[in-house]
Structures are given as structure tokens and as C-alpha cells.
Amino acid sequence: MRIKSFLILTITLFTIWVILNGKLTPEVLLTGGLVAIVVSLLFCRTCEVFTEIRLTPKAVLYSVLYVFVFMRELVKSNLDVAGRVVSPKLPINPGFVEVKTKLHSKIGRMILANSITLTPGTLTVEINDDRLFIHWIDVQGGNIEKDTEMIVQTFEKYLEVIYG
Amino acid sequence: METLKIIGAFITLAGSVFLLLGSIGLIRMPDVFTRIQVGTKASTLGTILSLFGIGLMFTEIAGKIFLLIIFILITNPVSSHMLARAAHYIGVKKADITVVDKLSEFREKQPENNAQKPEAE
């Protein structure tokens, strides 16, 4: 699996380099390619998280869908928080709740925690194995199952297919 | 080309409105955790919209703007997570209206975690 993580890292670095340069001359491509390969070789030993990405057609499709779901949630989240801020009564009901995730891979959990932080009124404070502790600006659930359903499941059904 | 510039200007304006609301929220919120919430949420969309608008106005740097948006999406939640976690671990005072705190209960059950946790996952 080392080869796969090496390839993914090289391609990512190379793509970023090309976009940053904004041109496709031979010098740019050669320099970027060489540096990307050397850097990937140096850091490949510690980047095993990339091997957890599945590259089946279904996973790729769900990744694309996930971007759209995420964007929708992001906009909803921002409008929601903006609404609370301008409302004269300041309708907040903050608290720390616990949710559970079914994801097993490190990168899947990382992306789930990041997504939760960027979406409606929730902020991941601590993660311990499959338990996530979340600061919620407007606590509605009450028990772990209900909270999990409301916060996690929008993302989890996509991430489960992509990362497992 | 002109229309693209005008659309870009309006999108940037919308982004700055979100940033303004975020700043108002920073003043109005009662404690550090709710402030981090507002600081993360409103500023993410605000920054993304501002950058997107600039990308429409100056199409020659659109690629770099795209990279900037990706990096903001990756780093913004990580930094606010670490700030909130550190604040909770050193025992920053929570607002009086805080209804439930499962994390404190969890940490009390695990005394070894309270002293120091060298590795953050």
C-alpha cells in the first residue's frame, strides 16, 4: 500500500504546484515533478492515512455528491448563525453533547469532525475513539442516539461509502 | 468581462456582510465557545465568498484563489477545534446558560487524561 500513498501524495503536490504557477512550461513541470517525487519519498513513511481512501467508481461518485451536500450545509450553517447573531433576543442554548460515529478509518473521522465544525451551530471539541464531543450552540436532542441522528448522519452516509 | 466584474463585486460585498455579522457575533456572544462558533461559521462563508468574488473579477488568478479556498476549508475547522479543546481543558468559564456538559463528565471518569495528553488525534 506504500505505492498508493506515494502516488496520491505526489499527484496532490504536483497539482497544487501547477495551479500555483498557472502555466505549463517544461521547466515548471520538470521542477514540480522532481520536487513532488522527492518530498513524497521523504514523507511517504508517515502518510499511511491516504491508503484508506477507496478509489472505486461508487466512492468517487459519493465524493462528488459529498462536496455538494457539504456546500449546502455550509451555507445553511452560516445563515443560521448569522440569524442568531442579529436577532435581538440572542436565541442560543449552548451545551456539550456526545455523539457516536460508525466510521473506522482515521481520515474518515477527521473529515467528519471537520465537516461537523463547519456546519449548523456545531463544533467538535474532543474525539476519543468513536465518541465525538461537540459544542452545540442550540442543544435540541437530549440523548446520544438523538444527537447522533441530528448531527452526524447527514455526512456519515456518504463518508461511510468513501472511507469506511 | 464587465458583467463578470460587477457580479464579482456583489459576491465580495455579500462576503463582507457575513464577515461583519461574524464580528458583531463576537461581541454579542456570552462565552468563549459560542464566540469560537461564530468566528468559525460566519467567517468561513464570508472569506470564501470574498475570495470567490475576487476570483471572478481577476480571472487570471482564479487558480490561486481556488487553492486558497481549499486551504481555508481545511485549516479553519482544525484551528477552531484546537482552540475550543484547549479552552475546555484549561477550564475556561462557560456561560451560565450552558445546558449540558457531557465532556466534563467524560473527563472526570478518566483522571489520566486530565493531567496531560501528549498526542492529539
pLDDT digits (tens, 9 = 90+) for A73-91: 888 878 877 788 887 777 7
* Same-domain status, A75 and A151: yes
Q: What is the pLDDT of residues A29-60, one digit of tens each?
A: 888 889 988 888 887 776 666 666 666 777 78
Give A99's strand partners: A132
| B24–A contact, CB cutoff 8 A | yes
Q: Model confidence at A131, in pLDDT bands (50, 70, 90)? A: confident
Q: How close A101 gets to chain B, by Cα (Å)?
A: 15
Residue B97 covered by a domain:
yes
Which pairs from A3-10 meet CB under 8 Å and 24+ separation?
A: A4/A50, A4/A51, A5/A44, A5/A47, A5/A48, A5/A49, A5/A50, A5/A51, A6/A40, A6/A41, A6/A44, A8/A50, A8/A53, A9/A36, A9/A39, A9/A40, A9/A43, A9/A44, A9/A47, A9/A50, A10/A36, A10/A37, A10/A40
Parent domain of B60: 2-113
Q: How many domains does chain B have?
A: 1
pTM for the structure as a whole = 0.76
Give the span between the Cα atoms of B67 and B76, in whole angstroms: 14
Q: Give the pLDDT mean for A106-115.
A: 80
Same domain as A141, residue A71: yes
Q: What is the mean pLDDT of residues A103-130?
A: 79
Do the domain assignments include residue B119?
A: no
Contact at CB, B34 and A75, closer than 8 angstroms? no
Query: What value does the mean pLDDT of chain B take?
Result: 79
Q: How many CB pairs under 8 A join A and B?
A: 133
Asked if B37 reaches chain A (Cβ–Cβ under 8 Å), the answer is yes
The residue range of the domain holding A151 is 57-162
Q: Is A102 in the same domain as A81? A: yes
Residue A101 makes CB contacts below 8 A (sequence gap 6+) with A109, A112, A130, A132, A148, A152, A156
Q: Which residues of A touch B85 (CB under 8 A)?
A: 125-126
Number of domains in chain A: 2
The verdict on A18 and A91 lying in the same domain is no
Q: Do A75 and A113 fall within a single domain? A: yes
pLDDT attached to residue A56: 74
In a domain, B41, yes or no: yes
Instruction: Convert the pLDDT of each residue in B8-39 to its tens digit.
Output: 899 999 899 888 888 888 888 788 888 888 88
Residue B16 in domain: yes
Asked, for residue B43, whether it belongs to a domain, the answer is yes
Confidence of residue B121 (pLDDT cuts 50, 70, 90): very low
> Residue B37 falls within a domain, yes or no?
yes
Tell me whether residue B57 is in a domain.
yes
Averaged over B90-114, what is the pLDDT? 67
Q: Are residues A70 and A17 in the same domain?
A: no
- pLDDT at res. A76: 81
